[in-house]
Chains A and B, each alone.
Chain A
Amino acid sequence: MESPQRTIQLLLKPGQHDGEGQRVAEAAHRHLGLHTGRVQSTALYTVRYPLTDQQLRDFATHCLQDPVLHEVALDEFRHGAPYQSYILVAKLPGVTDDEGISAQNALGDFLNEPLDTHTQHIFSKRLYFLEEALPESSLRQLAQELLGNKLINRFEVGPIAQIRDYTPRPGGGAESVTETVGLVGLSDEALLKLSKDNLYALNLEEMRAVRDHYTSIREERQAAGLPQDPTDCELEIIAQTWSEHCKHKEFSALIKYKDADTGEEFEVDSLFKTYIKDATAEVDRQLRANGNDWLIKVFSDNAGAVRINPESLFVWKVETHNSPSAIDPYGGAITGILGNNRDPLATGIGGARLLFNTNVLCFGNPEFNGTLLSNQLHPRRIFEGVRKGIEDGGNKSGVPTVNGSIVFDDRYAGKPLVYCGTGAVMPMQLAGLDSWEKNIDPQDRIIMAGGRVGKDGIHGATFSSIELDETSPATAVQIGSPITQKLAMDFLILATRRGLIKCSTDNGAGGLSSSIGELATISCGAVVELEKVPLKYPGLRPWEIFVSESQERFSLAVEPAKLDELLALGREMEVELTDIGYFTSDGYLDVRFAGEPVAHLDMHFLHDGVPRKVLEAEWSKPTAQEPALAAATDYTDALTRLLGSLNICSRESVIRQYDHEVKGRTIIKPLMGATGQAPQDAAVVRFNFESWEGVAVSNGILPRFGDLDAYHMSAGAFDEAVRQIVAVGGKLPNLTYGDGNFWSVNDNFCVPDSVYDPVGNPDGKQKLAKLVRMCQALRDATAAYCIPLTSGKDSMKNDFKADGVKISVPPTVLYSMTAKVEDVRRTITSDFKQADDVVYLLGETYDELGGSEFYQLFGELGANVPQVRFEQAKALYQLVGEANDQNLIQSCHDLSDGGLAVALAEATFGYGFGAEVELPEGLPVHVQLFSESHSRFVATVAPEDVVAFEQHFGGRATLLGRVTQDGQLTVRYGGQPVISASTAALRHEWTNGPVNRIIGFGHHEAAH
């Protein structure tokens, strides 16, 4: 029996400001050129639960209505008189509806009775009324572009006289049927077709390996009563386990590298092993030889771990969520950040406390005004959606977003890059056991914790391993629920400290298939009983249950004797826990549904059976030359334009919508100073309130330089992240015996398809060669600085194809660094502190304008790409650290985009100081001002410390001038002023740049 459907509508009382309606009207005009007239926004709640009229009214007025703001309409769609059109925004079946669930929660409290949580009883929707009578096509366009996403929302639109309602009715459909897929005896063409049709994303060789495996085990399966062909679930598990996303096949491939210019040839036996793992092993050897044994866990588990002190570990992970963010920017980003949060949470035993988030985003030009390809979202829309996803994902979880970076390049217009990083702290011991270890014994129970399973996100792992096209599947979209995850997180923290959990892992890409598949390798087998898995709604096939990527879930291994206590704690904290099977040691992943076999896979074949790829790389140096620029350039104008350029301008409108100081531990925030507008180099967060120990966090990313040389781009990005940490007062590791100064770095490669194909990817060899060179630089950098990598990720197919056009991202690598800060009170911020302080340049400038923002102003690329001179850089960083020990440095800002001129300007933004600077003789003015040579800083020194400072740095410091009270930035060369500007005007230019204009300033909206 189904209850009749009732509707509660909340409208703002006359006179209350309808900010949402106003914003919709403005955005429709600004982005779509639609004149809507006034827009009225209302909230709808559809209730499918038996309530009397009085109960419905009381629930609406007492629980949903804000008596000061709202009026309530029951079972009608009330609207003001002048409105002529409507848009209803509902959710598609099965899409997460947190607001509906919260309303349901409130109804349970109101009635004082537990509601059956297996069914959704309340559905939230938005209903908008528009003053103008717009045609349905315009209304639908407005709905799809501004109010929702057709992959997750259902829209009803039309004239106001004919309002159509829609309430999702999930379920129905499939029964719990497991089918077999005919594989044995298939031809090559048929194998490839099968792989493509089912989104397995396996190539021919891999499909053959699967076919041959099943052919070889025919008798064995027959004897065990299993079908000779694989089941749908088995193939799905293999496809997910062997996906690029999970197995990193290209980073493990054998690569034949050829330098076309020199004729040199060599083979790389796995990029990961050669340049990342082995390099870090060598770093670790050097660290340990010098009494630094803080590297605890690298390249295994969900996140890397280093020791802070004898009591605690720092856990650090950065990942990407690119493909989902391309098709649903908000959902993609929020699941990205929440999914990345689960990595440190589920490292080792689990239950780390999250300390901070950071994010780096790469987008196409948000002011793009050309024609979009089919199913390509406008870069501005991707930017706004991703930003909102990060806001909700971080803020609602109570994790501060302490810094980040946004990079714009037209080549990110197809697939954006969304990097999410999370740092966490974990005790060394949990209930007497080493917290970072994962132990499982046969018979331990498998517990699924957190959210329920639906069809959302089926095929995410395989989907992220192929290029996007206009037919990309809707089921790959997931919506995160930060509140569900917060509850699970609070639960994990407590359960692990009480010793109730043996180990945990997150359900991310690949869902249960991946999480249980991985945990089962510890005990060597598992039995999963899928009928026990709680579903959001009925109608999922067994294989769908197993590979669904519904969010906010963890898989836990629990000793049978502790199960009851764990389940009791789950009930107390309102976290759903389900016993879905147990671990074994028989070497098989055994999946059943109500006793029927669904999958029975040899773990050895599953994890080691994937054929190795052999790839070709060929490098030839791009031809590039330095441009001839007009001699008479106005450098004040150039600086002004740089400050207002897309990649340099202020990101304040984005930053302020992220909570960067919840937990009360953030010491260096993204924007500092009395004005709150001085950009900083690295974030600094203290670990707790009892000590002053903390961690510095930085990001290095320089895709532009990759157009000239991928090696120097990668080396430069690494150096950028190192020098940002040095700028705030961090010290290089391993300088003295047993100094315990940990560093933990994540590498994240995001490259276009780099597998050569004469038709589909003719420049694949060159792209792969770039990747090899990026990895070589990484090896050289880790060795030079003795900085270890602890975890990382690669995303290999960042291409968007539609209408016969392919948009590929430039090869990109992000180095996300963290380093211990002994005493956060001694850290340094970038802004000038006092008039008459003396300004120095630390490090050396070279004629390296290639790929610079300055050349970009003139539409030039140039040739002289900045190079990192590792030995010199390391020596300078050591000097900076020693100078900080003596309190010689008052401010320190690293030089990056826009070079010295931009760094000087930014350093004045904190208080309104000015500076008088005289450039030394030597390099031409524009080179000194705008070259982006690495490993340099602008530092200020108190007048009384000048002698000690100059003695300490010797030739590495160049006197530039002094800080002034007058708010004027004056730069001279040979006595002649080359830049002369008011710093207030420069700050105005920077603050009013394109990013803040697009996201909008947070002024108060005027009422109608």
Chain B
Amino acid sequence: MEQTPQLPDQHTPPRPQHDDPGHEIVNREGQIVLPGFKSVDPGHESTEPLKSKTEQSEKQATNNEKRVRALILTGFGINCEEEFAAAYRLVGAEATIVHLNQVLHGHVSIHDYDILNFPGGFSFGDDLGSGVVLANKLRYRRNAEGRTLLDDIREFVARGKFVLGICNGFQVLVKLGLLPDLSGTVTPEVTLTHNASGRYEDRWVKLTVNPRATTPFLKGLTTLEVPVRHGEGRLIIQDEATRAAIEARGLNCLTYADFDGAPTDVYPFNPNGADLNCAGLTDTTGRVFGLMPHPEAFLSLYNHPDWARRKRATPGLSEEGDGVWLFRNIVEHVQAQATAAAAPSVSHEFSS
């Protein structure tokens, strides 16, 4: 006989309300207490049932060490958030992955964090040009108070906090006008478009750091090996004046280099034909930083294509990848800032 559908049973108590903040909660051991929109660890997720609110706040209370807090956005086709979070965790920071809608809908505030991160991926499938649709969302979508996320990000940066965009995230920052933002009006001055080769490519490149770059992300670094994985990474600068201003202020902080470390426009060392052979930009404050290559994909020696030979040649070689330096730099910088703020006798100036 035909069965009629039952309505949800109103007498069944609802699932334990754990005051779900929407993002992932991780305990001191790195186990996921409450999964967020994405959690980081695919292999060894906690098999423990979700903790109640009280247990969770106990954990947090014992874990109150003022760690640097990194917020990592995901959703809509972003796909490098897991390794991004792993990078921050490796250097002792707290990494929280949230869906962009959590921020847009006001459930999560970027101001509770020290570093805002835009990972790589294919937001909205790269339709209309990479990063365009996402940038558009940040610029135009207004929340209940009538503010856009771009308004919040500008305030965030003005408060001395940091923004990092990698690959698709860099494209978003550029299309938003946050990079290089010479004018200070967040108007796009440069763009990232199809590689000169006309194709997507995954290959390892060598970068040199512009000695004039002031961003704390690159402090103490001179070269870096990292993979590029993009089809639209060719930087084009709108005019000569902009180019000159970028160079004069050292905003072109990363440069594609040949085998000997000299800047080059030769394929494949410069994989996309970028103006100024530029792989990464900062804004004029050095607090907003974006790059096409993927430092978060070189967290361990074993990511490098030549790891096996290098390890043989140099038995004591560090197991850490070049990409870690960049994350350690910024986390240490934020920590030092916090310490300095707590101890007013120490100078507030940090030279890099």
Please give the residue numbers on chain A whose beta carbons come within 8 Å of chain B beta carbons, in ascending order. 16-17, 19-20, 23, 62-64, 66-69, 98-99, 101-103, 105-106, 109-110, 112, 124, 308-309, 311-312, 353, 355, 391, 395-398, 425, 427-429, 431-432, 442-443, 445, 481-483, 486-487, 490, 493-494, 497-499, 527, 560-565, 572-574, 582, 584-586, 590, 655-667, 669, 671-674, 676, 686-691, 693, 824-825, 828-829, 831, 833-834, 890-891, 910-911, 1002-1005
Within 8 Å CB of B65, what residues of A? none
A101 and B77 alpha carbons, distance in the complex (Å): 14
Q: A102-B133, A483-B125 are in contact. Are A565 and B15 (CB under 8 A)?
A: yes
A661 close to B297 (CB less than 8 A): yes
Given contacts A69-B236, A664-B297, contact A674 B309 (CB under 8 A): yes
**Bound form: Cα–Cα A405–B302 in Å:** 23
Question: Which residue of A63, A64, A656 is within 8 Å of B203 (Cβ)?
Answer: A656
Known: A66-B193, A311-B45, A443-B3. A487 touches B203 (CB 8 A): no
Ranked nearest first, the 5 interchain pairs of A and B with the lowest CB-CB distance are A398-B79, A664-B83, A102-B127, A687-B43, A1004-B196
Chain B min CB distance to A610 (Å): 27
**Chain A contacts for B189, CB-based, 8 A:** 68
Tell me the minimal C-beta distance from B208 to chain A in angstroms. 19
Are B202 and A427 touching (Cβ within 8 A)?
Answer: no
Q: How far is the CA of A663 from the CA of B227 in the complex (A)?
A: 12
A99 to chain B: which residues have CB within 8 Å?
125, 127-128
A67 touches B200 (CB 8 A): no
Q: In the complex where A68-B238, A312-B43, A560-B6 touch, is A397 in contact with B79 (Cβ < 8 A)?
A: yes
Q: Report the nearest B residue to A107, measured CB to CB.
A: B136
B26 to chain A, nearest CB (A): 12
Which residues on the B side are within 8 Å of A391 (C-beta)?
A: 200
Question: Which interface residue of B102, B136, B137 has the most chain A CB atoms within 10 A?
Answer: B136
Q: What residues of chain A lie closer than 8 Å to B139, measured between beta carbons?
A: 62
> Are B128 and A1002 in contact, with the CB atoms below 8 A?
no
Give, as a whole number of angstroms, the nearest-CB distance from B53 to chain A: 15
Contacts of A68 in B (CB 8 A): 188-191, 236-238
22 contacts between A and B (CB under 8 A): A19-B196, A20-B198, A23-B198, A66-B132, A66-B175, A67-B188, A106-B128, A312-B45, A443-B6, A482-B122, A561-B12, A573-B37, A661-B297, A662-B229, A663-B82, A686-B302, A689-B83, A690-B30, A829-B308, A831-B309, A833-B312, A1002-B199
Q: Complex formed: what's the CA distance from A572 to B104 in Å?
A: 11
CA distance A586 to B40 in the complex (A): 43
Contact (Cβ within 8 A) B128 A64? yes
Q: Tell whether B101 is near chain A: CB-to-CB under 8 Å.
A: yes
Specify which chain A residues have a CB less than 8 angstroms from the CB of B172 in the assembled complex: none
The complex places the Cα of A848 from the Cα of B104 at a distance, in Å, of 66
Name the distance in Å between A944's Cβ and chain B's nearest Cβ.
12
CB contact list, B263-322 vs A, under 8 A = 265, 267-268, 271, 273, 294, 296-299, 302-303, 305-309, 312-313, 319
A676, B204: Cβ atoms under 8 Å? Answer: yes
Known: A311-B44, A494-B35. A590 touches B309 (CB 8 A): no
CB distance from B251 to the nearest CB of A (A): 16
Q: Give the contacting residue for A1005; candidates B7, B136, B197, B238; CB below 8 A.
A: B197
Distance of B326 from chain A, by nearest CB (Å): 14
Contact A103 B127 (CB under 8 A): yes
**Closest chain B residue to A1002, Cβ basis:** B197
User: Taking A687-B43, A688-B44, A910-B309 as contacts, is the C-beta distance between A63 and B198 under 8 angstroms?
Assistant: no
Q: Does the CB pair A428–B309 fall under 8 Å? A: no
Q: How far is the CA of A562 from the CA of B13 in the complex (A)?
A: 11
Least Cβ–Cβ distance between B241 and chain A, in angstroms: 13
Contact A667–B302 (Cβ < 8 Å) = yes
A674 to B121, CA, bound (A): 27
Q: Which residues on B sit within 8 Å (CB–CB) of A561?
A: 8-9, 12
Let me know if B258 is at the binding interface, CB within 8 A: no
Shortest C-beta distance, A1004 to chain B (Å), equals 4
- Complex CA–CA separation, A355 to B42 (angstroms): 9
Point out the residue from B121, B129, B133, B141 that lies within 8 Å of A112, measured CB to CB: B141
| Given A561-B12, A657-B200, A664-B296, A109:B137 Cβ within 8 A | yes
Q: Is the CB of A487 within 8 A of B47?
A: no
Q: B203 contacts which chain A residues (CB < 8 A)?
A: 656, 676
Across-interface contacts of B6 in A (CB, < 8 A): 443, 560
- Other CB < 8 Å A-B pairs besides A689-B90, A834-B309, 5 of them? A103-B127, A396-B77, A584-B3, A656-B203, A1004-B196
Q: How far is the CA of A62 from the CA of B99 in the complex (A)?
A: 25
A106 to B98, CA, bound (A): 21
A995–B315 Cα distance when bound, in Å, is 38
Q: Is the CB of A689 within 8 A of B236?
A: no
What residues of B have a CB within 8 angstroms of the CB of A493 in the complex?
Answer: 38
Contact B79 A687 (CB under 8 A): no
The answer to whether B38 and A429 have CB atoms under 8 Å apart is no
**Contacts A494-B37, A586-B2, A689-B83 given: A17-B196 contact, CB under 8 Å?**
yes
Cα separation A476 to B309 with both chains bound (whole Å) = 49
Q: Cβ of A662 and Cβ of B297 under 8 Å apart?
A: yes
Query: When chains A and B are docked, how far (Å) is the Cα of A493 from the Cα of B2?
Result: 34
CB within 8 A of A395: which of B122, B137, B306?
B122
In the bound complex, CA of A427 to CA of B227 (Å): 30
Complex partner residue of B305 from A62, A442, A676, CB under 8 angstroms: A676
B201 part of interface (Cβ distance < 8 Å): yes
Q: Whole-angstrom distance from the CB of B145 to the nearest CB of chain A?
A: 13
CB distance from A9 to the nearest CB of B (A): 14
Q: Which residues of B contact A671 (CB under 8 A)?
A: 305
Give the residue of B5, B30, B49, B313 whose beta carbon is less than 8 angstroms from that of A431.
B49
B80 at the binding interface (Cβ < 8 Å): yes
In the complex, how many angstroms separate the beta carbon of B311 from the nearest chain A beta carbon? Answer: 8
Q: B142 at interface (Cβ–Cβ under 8 A)? A: yes
Residues of B42-67 contacting chain A, CB below 8 A: 42-45, 47, 49-50
Residues in A neighbouring B253, C-beta threshold 8 A: none
